[in-house]
Amino acid sequence: MTTSSKTMVLNLVESFSEFKEFKNIDKTNMMRVLEDVFRTMLQRKYSSESRFDIIINTETGDIEMYHLRLIVEDGEVEDANLQISLSDAVKLEEDYQVGEDCIEEVTLEDFGRRAVLNARQALMSRIQELEKEDLVRQYESKMGDIVNGEVYNIWKREIMLLDDDGNELILPKDQMIPSDMFKKGETIRAVVFKIDTERGAPRILLSRTSPDFLQRLFELEVPEILEGTIQIKNIVREPGERAKVAVESYDDRIDPVGACVGVKGSRIHGIVRELRNENIDVINYTNNINLYISRALQPAEISRIDLDEENTKANVFLEADQVSLAIGRGGNNIKLASRLAAYQIEVYRMQAKSEAAEDDVDLDEFLDEIDAWVVKELKKVGLDSARDVLRSSTEFLMNSTDLEEETINEVKKVLSAEFEEGK
């Protein structure tokens, strides 16, 4: 092979070597891609039916290409790309006989500079495609697992991270905890939750709001979960606000809640910090649905639970001072409890004996003055009568319903008028 030919080959192989060094492409794929590129070059020059042998040394940059043609009698050549006459064959090697394959070396000089440049471009394109496939395979195996990435770019709707191999990872804004604030160069932990390949190049999307993220954090902090002694049965979250985790132990000697929390909260504190002080309730799972719902509504103390016949709705009755605890800030506690138990939970305030004889009016009696959706919002948080609403602070009503302060004040004005008229 001439120096010029060797240089052109080296340029091709160097193109590949650059990708191999930085993208970790394995040798088998390297050989396959190079051979495919050179075989395509040969078939374009000769024909698609032509036969070739290609030998590549990826360490030295050497390549050997041979054109194989069947030797036929003089005058019987029908396709010069597939056959060669005996007289032409013996010029290459005196011992050739009719019926044998004539093996003739082909060099890159036979193609010309343009063909070699086209091959180099094809090689780089193939390597890029190979890299995309390898990246997708790599992160498909990590789906739902925690990965680390260093913040490289911060945009309005997403953050771009780089993993240890320099691959780009994307953390969308809607997959971040509301109070997440990151700086360039900072290391972030998140789970792989989606691979988007619709736009050509694969996008590895991460999440810090997924329940999987919280589960993986528990697995890192609680060895019993990773070992299988304790199982996480369900996780529900309002990212950055509150989470509920139901756990079950397969060893009677181990308290699953205590193991997850740790001595003086030692195990759960690290998780809480990672989740920006998200309030995490760990409860003991049970098949007893009444008990499960009662635990799910902690820290509220439940007086009674009535389940409907379809087992889809639970009416929960509580003392007056427990209603706000059951509902939680912004209604998060009751929402999460409903999702955890897979029941629609509605809370009702139990009336004290001293109040039993007290005059009161059901909220439905005010539907001609108060919009039905407003009444529904109030009943969702256990306020069924006029006096229930009037006893509740405006702050509580704003935090536990979707009602605005102006609407709440107007409602209270209507309800107050009812009792003033009765005096």
List pLDDT tens digits, range 106-142.
Answer: 877 777 777 777 877 887 787 778 788 888 888 999 9
The residues near 87 (Cβ < 8 Å, ≥ 6 apart) are 74
Average pLDDT over residues 37-57: 86
Residues facing 52 on adjacent strands: 67
Average pLDDT over residues 199-222: 93
Q: Which domains does the chain have, with CATH numbers?
A: 3-137 (3.30.1480.10), 142-209 (2.40.50.140), 286-350 (3.30.300.20), 354-421 (1.10.150)
List pLDDT tens digits, range 336-388.
Answer: 999 999 999 988 887 654 444 457 788 888 888 889 898 888 887 778 788 88
Q: Prior bond to 299 cis, omega within 30? A: yes
Confidence class for position 421, pLDDT limits 50, 70, 90: low
E-assigned strands of 264-311? 279-284, 304-307
Rounded-to-integer distance, Cα 140 and Cα 135, Å: 8
pLDDT computed for residue 118 by the predictor: 80
Confidence class for position 11, pLDDT limits 50, 70, 90: low
Is the pLDDT assigned to residue 54 strictly greater than 70? yes
- Which phi and psi angles does 104 have, rounded to 5°? -120, 130
Total-model pTM: 0.67
How many whole angstroms from its chain centre is CA 159? 15
3-state secondary structure of 323: helix
CA distances from 237 to 27, 242, 268, 275, 277 (A): 45, 6, 15, 11, 13
Average pLDDT over residues 286-290: 92
Rounded-to-integer distance, Cα 240 and Cα 279, Å: 8
Average pLDDT over residues 236-259: 94
Is the pLDDT assigned to residue 15 strictly greater than 60? no
